[in-house]
A and B are shown apart, each in its own frame.
Chain A
Amino acid sequence: MPVDYQALTFDYAPHADQQAARPVRRPVVIVGAGPVGLALAIDLAQRGVPVVVLDNDHRLSTGSRAICFAKRTLEIFDRLGCGDRMVAKGVSWNVGKVFLRDAQVYRFDLLPDAGHERPAFINLQQYYVEGYLAERAQELALVDLRWRNEVVDTQPQDDHVTLTIDTPDGQYRLEADHVVACDGSRSAVRRHLGLESKGRVFRDRFLIADVRMTHEAPAERWFWFDPAFHPNQSVLLHRQPDGVWRIDFQLGWDADPEEEKKPGKIIPRVKALLAHSAMKDAEFTLEWASVYTFSCQRMARFRHGRVLFAGDAAHGVSPFGARGANSGVQDADNLGWKLAAVLRGHAPDALLDTYAREREAAADENIRHSTRATDFITPKSAASRLFRDAVLSLARTQPFARTLVNSGRLSAPTTLHGSSLNTPDSHAFAGTMVPGAAAADAPVTRADGRDGWLLKQLGDGFSALVGADGELERVLQGLAVPGFPLSVLAIAPAGTRAGDALVDRDGAIARRYDLQPGTGVLLRPDGHVCARWRAPTPERVQAAMRRALALPDGALPCP
């Protein structure tokens, strides 16, 4: 009997902390058991850090909500031990099509280059993602997940934060060395601190209708501008697991949200779409509907002393581009190893500032993309509308115009250009794996002769990809920084066999990383490139690892 994740409830269980005479101190308390909070909790627990997660509810997400999970997010879920389940259940897709009225004007393939284990995207209802993460978290003894624990007050102190928590058994207080607010766009923690997330609110309304129907069609993202079945507006169609289809209808600002939520209003809209497609006779039932508006906004700073903000609590985007949940999971990925290092005294507190700086820059990038897509989909002025329509009409015959059609630039990992944790290049390299880039996957043959994937071979700490030359991999062996070992992955060219080396089966590593014999590429514990050399030495690699931990050369912080 498959689990019905939408109906799943998690039991409230009283914790001894609630009866303690004095508030108990915990190293990390995460507020919010959504995708971001759960991902961070799993990461910290896997790194040996005990973590408390407080959630004000005892259910998973209501409705499908975020449905597009990007390749980078899946790679992070792989590291967290639940990527396979997500991909097995999700609908994998790489191709998007854009239509103007009834004609296709643009087609894109998000993963044109083969040689990645994970697809560009899967579509998967948010309740599955949260459910699989929650089940993974519950396997870990260090995760203390407390349902129906609502944080009603947050008081930062000099050396800790005091939380006041409402439960079915009344209130209790808890102290935390660090609090991570992953409590969504209406973050209670943000409000308790008197902080705001600011930006642009868009004057448009959209209807999400999830319909269940039995119909075979390719798993692609279809986006219409001004279709005959919904004139002057846009429509987005996506396939989810379980025979559920997500349809997103632009309604305009004047639509009445209460009226539009009624099945009597929604069903004719869906029927009109189906009548214009190959699915015209499909029987369907309405699964979930929601009318929403959105804004592109962020907090000025993601770190406020011992309180850190991640996910929607810190930043918000329009749904076009799937940059909300995906960027939130990247926040968690960025923060986990840093928080673990600081808590253990392996890195200075300043490392947490780099979480804020790196992810604030990422939020700016996501907001920029999202705002541009929104301005294209919902032009804000007559001139904007004029050029939008001109682009669409040219796109039918002029290839250049297709690159201007913007129905959402889909989530890709942010390259952390200019981060203080990067060691600047001292040699010339080709390709996109610059310092700050999220490591690209590639097919490999492992030392045991089996085929595998590069990202699955990375260690929990730092990893060095080394173009095998027999000597370099040997001299780098055994390097480490406090708390993080260095995994040295010797890479041998395709067609060779070299002891313990990974074989670059299709030459993708050489191509993507510009990896030559003797080249070294250093990856952080979150899989971002932080340094690379044509002739690395143990001293340089050691210094780059220390730099990536914000450690001053030659001095360890006092724990």
Chain B
Amino acid sequence: MPLITDAHLESPDDFYEALIAAHEGLAEDESHALNARLVLLLANHIGALDVLREALDAARPDQ
């Protein structure tokens, strides 16, 4: 199954608000740590290595 890049979020604005809220009150290093934990949790949820590799490629700044 390829990486889904079409709109797939149930409620985009609610998600975005929750994402920003999750970082509220955190210092920069704590925010980075939260993001890292988030990536790992979501990666485990996806599971499929080929999808994750596609996502890693898509996220690189030179893409």
**Contacts from A to B (Cβ < 8 Å):** 386-387, 389-391, 393-394, 398, 400-401, 404
A404 & B40 in contact (Cβ 8 Å cutoff): yes
B36 located at the interface, meaning its Cβ lies under 8 Å from any Cβ of chain A in the complex:
yes
B53 located at the interface, meaning its Cβ lies under 8 Å from any Cβ of chain A in the complex:
no
The 0/1 profile, CB within 8 Å of A marked 1, for residues 19-63 of chain B is 000000000000011001101110010000000000000000000
B40 & A401 in contact (Cβ 8 Å cutoff): yes
Number of interface residues of B (CB under 8 A): 8
B33 & A386 in contact (Cβ 8 Å cutoff): yes
A-B contacts, CB under 8 A, total: 25
B40 & A386 in contact (Cβ 8 Å cutoff): no
Report the bound CA distance from A390 to B38 in whole Å: 9
Closest chain A CB from B41 CB (angstroms): 7
Closest chain B CB from A491 CB (angstroms): 37
B37 & A390 in contact (Cβ 8 Å cutoff): yes
A386 & B32 in contact (Cβ 8 Å cutoff): yes
The 3 closest A-B pairs by CB, nearest first: A390-B36, A400-B44, A390-B37
Residues on A with C-beta less than 8 A from B41 are: 394, 398
Mostly helix, strand, loop or mixed at chain A's interface? helix
Report the bound CA distance from A404 to B44 in whole Å: 10
A387 & B36 in contact (Cβ 8 Å cutoff): yes
Find the B residue at minimum CB distance from A387.
B36
Residues on B with C-beta less than 8 A from A401 are: 40, 44
Find the B residue at minimum CB distance from A401.
B40
Report the bound CA distance from A387 to B44 in whole Å: 14
Closest chain B CB from A519 CB (angstroms): 33
Closest chain B CB from A106 CB (angstroms): 15
Report the bound CA distance from A400 to B41 in whole Å: 8
A-B contact pairs, 16 of them (CB 8 A): A386-B33, A386-B36, A387-B39, A387-B40, A389-B33, A389-B36, A390-B39, A391-B40, A393-B33, A394-B40, A394-B41, A398-B41, A400-B44, A401-B40, A401-B44, A404-B40
Residues on B with C-beta less than 8 A from A389 are: 33, 36
Residues on B with C-beta less than 8 A from A404 are: 40
Report the bound CA distance from A401 to B43 in whole Å: 11
Residues on A with C-beta less than 8 A from B44 are: 398, 400-401
Closest chain B CB from A400 CB (angstroms): 4
